[in-house]
Amino acid sequence: MNNAKPYQLLPFRFMRLNNNKFLVVNEVGEYIFLPNENFDKLVNYTLDRQCSTFLDLKAKHILTDTYVAPAIDMLAVKYRTKKAFLYNFTSLHMVVPTLRCNSNCIYCQVSKKDPNAVGFDMDKKTARKTVETIFISPSPCIKIEFQGGEPLLNFNRLKYIVNYAQKLNKKHKRDLVFVVCTNLTLITPAILKFFKKHNISISTSLDGPCDLHNKNRPLQNNKLSHGKFVANLKLSRETLGRGNVSALMTTPRHSLDQFKKIIDEYIRLGFHNIFIRNLNPYGGAKQESKTIGYAIEDFVSKYKDALNYIIELNLKGTYFAESFATLLLQRILTPFTTGFVDLQSPAGVGIEGAVYDYNGNVYASDEGRMLAAMGDQEFLLGNVTTTSYSQIFGGDKLRSLITKSCLEAMPICSHCALQSYCGADPVRNYAEHGDVECHAATSNTCKKCRSILLYLFELIERNDRDINRVFWSWINRSPFEGRAEN
Amino acid sequence: MDGILKRFEKKALTLEVNKELYQKEAILFAAHKFINRCFITIEPSSEKYINVLFRPKDENLQLDDFALEFCNELLDQQVRLNIEKSYGNIRELIVKQAFCPIENIQNEIKI
């Protein structure tokens, strides 16, 4: 300890929450709300060492009045825990067996091809090389996620990949799991039997009640999809179990005012969570932005209403979580790491997840593939048939991307009190600004994450026992046990 | 607004910031936060002052309120720089200790 100061400040970031209060967050995401007066005392070294604020700050490793080294040791352990997503290297491998699709979604982000189009299926040689490349990854956990197009349009190749991966895994002994992202309309009992045998989960898309889902996600030739979706959802759950079928939604402009109905539909169909996602600036969503796009401020405003509605539902006894809020709450309220390739620092591109396109091209992320479909190959890392694993995953391109995606070194982000809970998405930055680095002052992603994080902090600061219990039920993934007794 | 002089001219705002109270880094960090709302030019005006010129992107921007907001941000940035200085190399040591443990941290601390 320096004798000139009564205590030593440990690294923290801060921001004004309003005219009366600061949010102070240390290097590992532990936070405290401080009235202006106490903040001034803190930074001017005049805090009373017996007061509760001082003891709170000391407990949260925002200051120390004893030896500094043990505090560094403790913070380092916590820091390592928070960054544990870096341990394994690439574990999520997204494979595109075909770019053909039988859906005609109004916001299609992948520039899909017609169901009968020729030349957009992964051939056997490419599939084989893809699986072999995946198993070079040092990660003890390998998740192969089939994307599209609609992957079931090339079910034979999907089967080949699953079988070959399992064959290789007899030697590699990884924790190997499969997920198929499908619109469910082509599901059959035979396909489900294969899924069941190989322990394959389903990730599907549900945009809301019948009229909304059909409007957003019609099939080719304007056929409606919702009826088929509901019937096959039931069939899939009966075969695979309820927990092995999850769903995602996307929000075009006309869905913004429908969040309550969308949430109700998720509950009606037996889902326990929803991920309220805004449109991505890729493919059809970008081309049609004049008719289906919106200002991010509008999305955030409706998101908050939806979150309040979901909290109310929980308080009335329906266990139902919003996945983005859950992810952020886990980062705010627990010391643990949360893997989410779109929002971490350094970014998850390539080192957490990679995409293998139907032609063997490897992209740093699914969004990188989406940009490629629009003619921009900025995030192409190589091709499984011509590029070595070390060139793809250890090459200058990926290294440069990762280097430029550390919030700790970004203007504005490096000082942001919310940094511990946030992350970088260089592909999205590039799509928005033409630059992989985050320009926080003008970034829609920053506007969204910052607003939602601040809203969550507003709710946390209320210290309402019922809301707190709802939040913890989401984090623990267990139902809320009724209102707290007074 | 101690250390800051304000001047409005032709739909633009110039703030003269006293260098004895605010470091150049604080001025740059603070100004950068406002690039979404203004075109910003920074240049020395005298030995004692730095001029920060804001030209609003939206002509409806209330420059009076904006000036107050900038002053708060500038103050925050200067406080940030001051406390960052007081950490010495603690932040670097936390990261280093997390991924590449140090044999004797005590010897490495520079505060």
Dist. CA A150–CA A102, nearest whole Å: 7
CB-nearest partner of B33 from A9, A79, A412: A412
Q: Check residue B4 and give its pLDDT.
A: 76
A361: helix, strand or coil: strand
A72 with B76: Cβ contact below 8 A: no
CB-nearest partner of B91 from A14, A27, A73: A27
> Which whole number is the average pLDDT over A172-190?
97
The token duo for A486 is 């007074």
Dist. CA A306–CA B20, nearest whole Å: 49
- Alpha-carbon torsion angle B13, B18, B24, B26, nearest 10: -80
Q: Going from the N-terminus, what domains does chain B have, and what CATH number goes with each?
A: 4-108 (3.30.1360)
Dist. CA A204–CA A193, nearest whole Å: 18
pLDDT tens digits, one per residue of A414-424: 999 999 999 99
Q: Which residues contact B49 (CB under 8 A, 6 or more apart)?
A: B5, B16, B17, B18, B19
Dist. CA A162–CA A61, nearest whole Å: 48
The percentage of chain A sitting over the pLDDT mark of 70, rounded to a whole number, equals 98
pLDDT of A210 higher than 80:
yes
Mutation choice for A interface testing from B79, B94, B107 by most A CBs within 10 A: B94
- Alpha-carbon torsion angle A34, A40, A43, A45, nearest 10: -110
pLDDT tens digits, one per residue of A261-308: 999 999 999 999 999 999 988 877 778 888 999 999 999 999 999 999
* CB contact at 8 A, A369 and A357: yes
Q: How far is CA B14 from CA B44, B54, B65, in A?
A: 12, 6, 14
Dist. CA A381–CA A364, nearest whole Å: 7
**Band of pLDDT at residue A484, cut at 50, 70 and 90:** low
Mutation choice for B interface testing from A68, A83, A420 by most B CBs within 10 A: A68
Kindly report the backbone phi and psi dihedral angles of residue B8, in degrees, each rounded to the nearest multiple of 5, phi listed first: -105, 135
CB-nearest partner of A69 from B32, B35, B105: B105
Dist. CA A266–CA A274, nearest whole Å: 7
**Band of pLDDT at residue A486, cut at 50, 70 and 90:** very low
pLDDT tens digits, one per residue of A309-318: 999 999 999 9
CB-nearest partner of B98 from A13, A79, A442: A79
Dist. CA A35–CA A419, nearest whole Å: 21
Angle at A449 between CA B86 and CA A467, to 5 degrees: 95
pLDDT tens digits, one per residue of A115-125: 999 999 999 99
Kindly report the backbone phi and psi dihedral angles of residue B71, in degrees, each rounded to the nearest multiple of 5, phi listed first: -60, -45
Q: Check residue A342 and give its pLDDT.
A: 87
Least confident of A178-182, A292-296, A372-376, A456-460: A372-376
- Average pLDDT over chain A, rounded to an integer: 94
- Number of Cβ atoms within 10 Å of the Cβ of A397: 16
pLDDT of B12 higher than 80:
yes
pLDDT tens digits, one per residue of B33-81: 999 999 999 999 888 999 999 999 998 888 888 999 999 999 999 999 9
Closest residue in chain A to residue B105, using alpha carbons only: A69
Q: Check residue A148 and give its pLDDT.
A: 87
B111 with A68: Cβ contact below 8 A: yes
What sign does the CA torsion over A404, A409, A415, A419 have? positive
Dist. CA A146–CA A153, nearest whole Å: 12
The token duo for A216 is 């957003």
Looking at per-residue pLDDT, the higher value among A224 and A235 belongs to A235
